[in-house]
């Protein structure tokens, strides 16, 4: 279970508060969606869950399956099962995709007390997952994400997610930039990971994604606070009414 | 009014060596060779060792950096065997499939070399022998290749050169393995080694040359090596250097290269050793339609000083030059990249671009980059760029978010950074050897 309690976050460099007391609980096995206007703090929340040190938690805590992870380094969180699919995946020139995937998988396996994968096993699992996500072999031969289209990068994120087998999946606008077919493929990839041991937090601007990845709960984030929570129909309502009401409410 | 400038201890030492040793240097008694040496000595002695007020040397003040002149390595070096050479090279390079020429101190050692398969393809001689009875081709080549003869370090080399090789590859020869010229130092006491290699590549030949400079022990060394290379019309030449001399060494090398027409010249230098290294690379385009790509990777730590200085002379139209250097600097290491591209008046349609990039691993490291364009033609495309920065936080976060611990993530990013330079090496086995050695260097990170 993910438990976020009274989370206050500011930018480490200055004193700008971005999250002002977030309370959110996601039981294992559930998928929760977060929607909200641009700049409301959605990505910040995602980054803070992953442990980015540009942000400072000034109050409150985050725990995953009973362990407080607020102070853990990003790689320790990954080992503990946290995975963030980035809104803007990064290009890393000079690092071959396969080298990266292998280093990442083995680091996580090692930290979790599992054996490293042999080369043939590694190749097999990567090829199989890539195929499911419709990622061509030549994309795996290039440096990580370099020259990939927006949609191709998003698919790489989901590939990494399925390889690392996280238990807490945070997807930050994974749907933006995807064409309709890719959206279905990615949603299938995500749904395949749904299970009683996993919790997911799906950030999106579009109700459409939630037709494919049906959430248990939808939360509205506005100005660094959750201002409303509801069932999956809340997304439909927001699609019609927009966020004006919450902006004013919070102001 | 010019007052006699006081000689430094090192300058006095070189002067004593020349006066006392000249009659024993190879070629003594041959008027041409003696004439070359005397003229070169005069050129050198009129200015002495370069210092910070000499523009080309402003970052590498040899007067300050060379505190004394070590005596020349004894001509009859210690008995070395193949294992010693392999040890000095390191296992990765020792295992390279190649034609191997071994030069111990400044002496070519055929018994340690492996020249099988070169019969009929080329001719290899010791420079010392050649200087005593110089062939015409040598007279037309030695010191004639590029206009940099008056560079003081090269003039000093000409005056004091005590060995090296001459290598001639015939027209149309295509070599399937690299020619590896191994320079290893065996002297047991602090020594200087001054040597010269003269290389002539025939028309339409295809050759990969690797010069490596390595030490067997930690004996302090002063190296002054010059390689003069002529690439014949239509030839395809890879010219690669690996430098891993011990941390008490000073390493001065100058490559003087003249390209005929339609030549593809790809130079690469990988430097990880020596306390002070100055890598000079002078390329002159003498024929149209040629391409010169000079790249390099430097990895420095501690107090290492590494200066790569290039002059690319577009003397004829229609040639392309690229210079691409990457430096990883840790500790209080200092890296310097200077590159002057000259485009002569008639050298229209020149296409030149240079880039130097440094990755700073420490606040105390220093990087100086000096690009210079001297363009006298009007229809040219030339550019330059230079960057320096630290390991990128965003990239680090991405890798760590994927479970990769900090030291490993950092090593991956540094390897990726130099990897982009190492990629320029066309020869796959050499490229992979360099990649592997760059990773080994990183394992010593923080050690
Ligand atoms: N590192 C940072 N430095 C400065 N400002 C930041 C930083 N990170 C976030 N912010 C600011 O915090 C606010 C929240 O940003 P965040 O990226 O979390 O929004 P978001 O809800 O994800 O928006 P979008 O829907 O556009 O993706 C914005 O005003 C943003 O400019
Ligand atoms: Mg966002």
Q: What is the pLDDT of residue B77?
A: 57
Which of A35, A39, A177, A224 maximizes ligand 1 atoms within 8 Å of its Cβ, making it the mutation to test the pocket? A39
Residues B283 and B400 in one domain: no
Residues B149 and B266 in one domain: yes
Q: Is residue B364 helix, strand or coil?
A: coil
Residues B31 and B159 in one domain: yes
From B287, B308, B343, the end of a domain falls on B287
| Confidence tier at B149 by pLDDT (50, 70, 90) | confident
Distance, CA A70 to ligand 2 centroid (Å)? 21
Residue A202's nearest CA partner among A159, A212, A179 is A212
Domain extent at residue B184:
9-287
What is the mean predicted confidence (pLDDT) over B354-368?
Answer: 98
What is the mean predicted confidence (pLDDT) over B69-81?
Answer: 81
In a domain, B329, yes or no: no
Q: What is the pLDDT of residue B446?
A: 44
In a domain, B312, yes or no: no
Q: What is the pLDDT of residue B266?
A: 98
From B263, B287, B311, the end of a domain falls on B287
- Are A215 and A32 in contact, with CB atoms under 8 Å apart? yes
Q: What is the pLDDT of residue A150?
A: 87
For the question of whether the overall pTM of this predicted structure is more than 0.80, the answer is yes
At CA B414, angle to CA B408 and CA B415, rounded to 5?
Answer: 85
Q: How far is B400 from chain A (nearest CA, A)?
A: 5
Residue of B nearest to A143 (CA): B416
Half-sphere exposure of B207 (CA within 13 A, CB side): 33
Interface test with A, best of B328, B395, B396, B402 (most A CBs within 10 A): B402
Report CA dihedral (B141, B146, B152, B156) to the nearest 10 degrees: -20
CA distance B367 to B328: 10
In a domain, B376, yes or no: no
Distance, CA B374 to ligand 1 centroid (Å)? 47
In a domain, B91, yes or no: yes
Q: How many domains does chain B have?
A: 2
Calculate the average pLDDT of chain B: 94
CA distance B47 to B50: 8
Q: What is the pLDDT of residue B353?
A: 97
Q: What is the pLDDT of residue B54?
A: 93
CA distance B172 to B233: 10
Q: What is the pLDDT of residue A248?
A: 47
Percent of chain B past pLDDT 70, that is, above it, reads 97
- We find that the CATH architecture of domain A2-250 is 3-Layer(aba) Sandwich (3.40)
| Confidence tier at B4 by pLDDT (50, 70, 90) | low
What is the mean predicted confidence (pLDDT) over B239-255?
Answer: 97
Distance, CA B97 to ligand 2 centroid (Å)? 53
Half-sphere exposure of B336 (CA within 13 A, CB side): 20
Give the closest residue (by CA) to ligand 1 atom 25. Answer: A38
C-beta neighbour count of B302 within 10 angstroms: 11
CA distance A248 to B205: 77
| Confidence tier at B76 by pLDDT (50, 70, 90) | low
In a domain, B332, yes or no: no
Q: Does B391 touch chain A (CB under 8 A)?
A: no
In a domain, B239, yes or no: yes
- Are B402 and A74 in contact, with CB atoms under 8 Å apart? no
Strands (E), B170-300: 179-185, 191-201, 206-215, 221-231, 236-244, 250-259, 264-271, 276-285, 291-300
Distance, CA A38 to ligand 1 centroid (Å)? 8
Specify the pairing of strand A217-222 against strand A225-230. Answer: antiparallel
C-beta neighbour count of B81 within 10 angstroms: 10
Bigger pLDDT: A25 or B445?
A25
Q: Which of B149-163, B292-306, B432-446 has the lowest mean pLDDT?
A: B432-446
In a domain, B315, yes or no: no
Strands (E), B286-347: 291-300, 305-314, 320-329, 334-343
Residues B401 and B269 in one domain: no
Q: What is the pLDDT of residue B119?
A: 86
Give the closest residue (by CA) to ligand 1 atom 24. Answer: A38
- Are A32 and A216 in contact, with CB atoms under 8 Å apart? yes
User: Cβ of B412 and A164 within 8 Å?
Assistant: no
Residues B404 and B280 in one domain: no
CA distance B354 to B340: 9
Residue of B nearest to A160 (CA): B402
Residues B278 and B424 in one domain: no
Q: Which atom of ligand 1 is nearest to the CA of A36?
A: 21
> Which residues in chain A come in under a pLDDT of 70?
247-251
- Are B229 and B259 in contact, with CB atoms under 8 Å apart? no
In a domain, B366, yes or no: no
| Confidence tier at B445 by pLDDT (50, 70, 90) | low
Q: Does B395 touch chain A (CB under 8 A)?
A: yes
Q: Does B247 touch chain A (CB under 8 A)?
A: no
| Confidence tier at B116 by pLDDT (50, 70, 90) | confident
Q: Is residue A194 helix, strand or coil?
A: coil
**pLDDT (tens digit per residue) in B169-193:** 999 999 999 999 999 998 889 999 9
From B287, B322, B341, the end of a domain falls on B287
């Amino acid at each position: 279970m993910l438990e976020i309690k009274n989370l206050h976050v500011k930018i480490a460099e200055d004193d700008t508060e971005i999250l002002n007391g977030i309370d959110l609980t996601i039981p294992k096995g559930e998928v929760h969606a977060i929607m909200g206007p641009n700049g409301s703090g959605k990505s910040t929340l995602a980054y803070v869950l992953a442990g980015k040190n540009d942000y400072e938690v000034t109050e409150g805590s985050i725990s995953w399956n009973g362990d407080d992870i607020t102070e853990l380094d990003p790689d320790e969180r990954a080992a503990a099962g946290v995975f963030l699919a980035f809104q803007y995946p990064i290009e890393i020139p000079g690092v071959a995709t396969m080298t990266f995937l292998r280093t990442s998988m083995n680091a996580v396996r090692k930290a979790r007390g599992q054996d490293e994968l042999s080369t043939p096993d590694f190749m097999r699992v990567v090829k199989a997952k890539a195929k499911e996500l419709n990622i061509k072999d030549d994309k795996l031969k290039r440096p990580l994400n370099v020259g990939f289209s927006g949609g191709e990068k998003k698919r790489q994120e989901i590939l990494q997610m399925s390889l690392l087998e996280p238990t807490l999946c945070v997807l930050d606008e994974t749907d933006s930039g995807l064409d309709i077919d890719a959206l279905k493929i990615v949603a299938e990839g995500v749904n395949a990971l749904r299970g009683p041991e996993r919790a997911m937090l799906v950030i999106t601007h579009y109700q459409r994604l939630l037709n494919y990845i049906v959430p248990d709960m939808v939360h509205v984030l506005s100005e660094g606070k959750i201002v409303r929570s509801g069932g999956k129909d809340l997304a439909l309502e927001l699609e019609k009414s927009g966020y004006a009401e919450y902006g004013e409410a919070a102001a | 009014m010019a007052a006699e400038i006081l000689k430094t201890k090192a300058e006095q030492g070189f002067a004593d060596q020349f006066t006392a040793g000249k009659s024993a240097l190879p070629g003594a008694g041959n008027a041409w060779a003696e004439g070359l040496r005397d003229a070169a000595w005069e050129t050198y002695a009129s200015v002495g060792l370069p210092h910070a007020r000499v523009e080309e040397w402003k970052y590498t003040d040899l007067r300050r950096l060379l505190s004394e002149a070590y005596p020349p390595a004894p001509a009859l070096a210690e008995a070395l065997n193949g294992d010693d050479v392999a040890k000095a090279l390191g296992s990765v390079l020792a295992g390279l499939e190649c034609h191997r020429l071994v030069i111990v101190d400044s002496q070519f050692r055929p018994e340690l070399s492996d020249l099988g398969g070169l019969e009929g393809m080329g001719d290899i001689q010791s420079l010392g022998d050649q200087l005593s009875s110089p062939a015409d081709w040598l007279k037309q080549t030695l010191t004639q290749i590029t206009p940099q003869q008056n560079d003081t370090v090269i003039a000093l080399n000409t005056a004091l050169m005590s060995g090296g090789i001459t290598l001639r590859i015939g027209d149309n020869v295509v070599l399937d393995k690299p020619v590896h010229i191994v320079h290893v130092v065996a002297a047991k006491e602090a020594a200087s080694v001054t040597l010269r290699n003269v290389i002539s590549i025939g028309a339409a030949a295809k050759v990969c040359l690797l010069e490596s400079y390595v030490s067997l022990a930690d004996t302090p060394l002063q190296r002054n090596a010059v390689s003069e290379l002529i690439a014949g019309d239509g030839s395809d030449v890879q010219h690669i250097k690996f430098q891993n001399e011990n941390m008490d060494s000073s390493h001065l090398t100058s490559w003087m290269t003249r390209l005929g027409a339609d030549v593809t010249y790809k130079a690469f230098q990988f430097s990880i050793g020596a306390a002070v290294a100055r890598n000079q690379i002078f390329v002159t385009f003498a024929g149209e339609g040629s391409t010169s790509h000079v790249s390099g990777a430097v990895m420095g730590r501690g107090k290492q000083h590494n200066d790569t200085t290039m002059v690319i002379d577009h003397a004829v139209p229609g040639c392309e030059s690229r210079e691409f250097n990457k430096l990883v600097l840790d500790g209080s290491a200092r890296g310097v990249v200077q590159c002057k591209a000259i485009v002569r008046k008639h050298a229209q349609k020149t296409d030149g671009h240079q880039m130097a990039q440094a990755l700073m691993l420490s606040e105390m490291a220093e990087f100086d980059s000096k690009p210079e364009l001297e363009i006298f033609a009007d229809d040219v495309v030339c550019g330059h760029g230079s960057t320096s920065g630290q390991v990128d936080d965003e990239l680090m976060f991405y890798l760590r978010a994927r479970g990769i611990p900090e030291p490993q993530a950092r090593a991956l990013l540094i390897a990726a950074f130099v990897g982009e330079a190492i990629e320029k090496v066309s020869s796959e086995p050499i490229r992979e050897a360099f990649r592997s050695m760059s990773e080994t260097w990183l394992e010593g990170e923080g050690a």
